Amino acid sequence: MIRVQQEDFDIGAEIARLRAGRTDIGAIVSFTGSVRDQSGEVTDMTLEHYPGMTEAELQRIEAEAQARWPLQASLIVHRYGALMPGDNIVLVVTASEHRDTAFDAAKFLMDYLKTGAPFWKRETGPGGARWVEASAHDEASAARWTKPKRAAE
């Protein structure tokens, strides 16, 4: 399941809802991304997104994870709008029988989200506002997941 929202999320409540009534789940991994103040360089942040495409991309990324791993459940929640240092930005939860699947799928979801989901961060600090630049590290992390596929071709 995916959700795009302005409101904060409660990690414990999200995981409780995901596993409610289920006795088949053996491993649950969650990742939470939050706003860093970067030693006072960031006083607030605005997250812009592309309504419609954001949801479509997150659904596509989640479907890709479910095709690659035997997941029993997954959840992506991503916020947009005005955020402050310490605020939650994104939550990814994966559930499976065994831990490796849940860990790998959670990392995959985050790596693909980072390079594919149409969000843009604008940070404000003492020196003014600036759009955050995409990182080569994120591109490399996402590209790693395509290597086994290429090798098989």
Partner 1 sequence: MRLLYFAWVKEKVGVAAEEIDPPAGVATIAELIDWLKARGPEFENAFARSEVIRAAIDKRHVRHDASIAAAREIAFFPPVTGG
Site for partner 1, rule CB under 8 A:
33, 47-50, 52-53, 56-57, 78, 89-90, 110, 113-122, 131-134, 138
CA separation for the pair 153, 150 (Å, rounded) = 5
Closest approach of Cβ 37 to partner 1, in Å? 17
For partner 1, the closer of residues 72 and 119 by Cβ is 119
Smallest distance, partner 1 to C-beta of residue 118, A:
5
* For partner 1, the closer CB: 79 or 96: 79
Residue with Cβ nearer partner 1 (25 or 142): 142
d(CA 127, CA 34): 22
- Least CB distance to partner 1 at residue 1 (A): 18
Of 52 and 70, nearer to partner 1 (C-beta) is: 52
Alpha carbons 78 and 55: distance in angstroms, whole number: 10
Element (H, E) at 104: helix 99-116
A 10 A CB-CB count for 125 gives 15
C-beta separation of 83 from 111 below 8 A: no
**Secondary structure (DSSP) of 125-136:** ETTEEEEPPPPH
Smallest gap from Cβ 105 to partner 1, in A, equals 15
CA distance 153 to 36: 41
Residue 72 or 113 having the CB closest to partner 1: 113
Cα–Cα dist 136/87, whole Å:
25
- We find the least distance from the C-beta atom of residue 18 to partner 1, in angstroms, to be 20
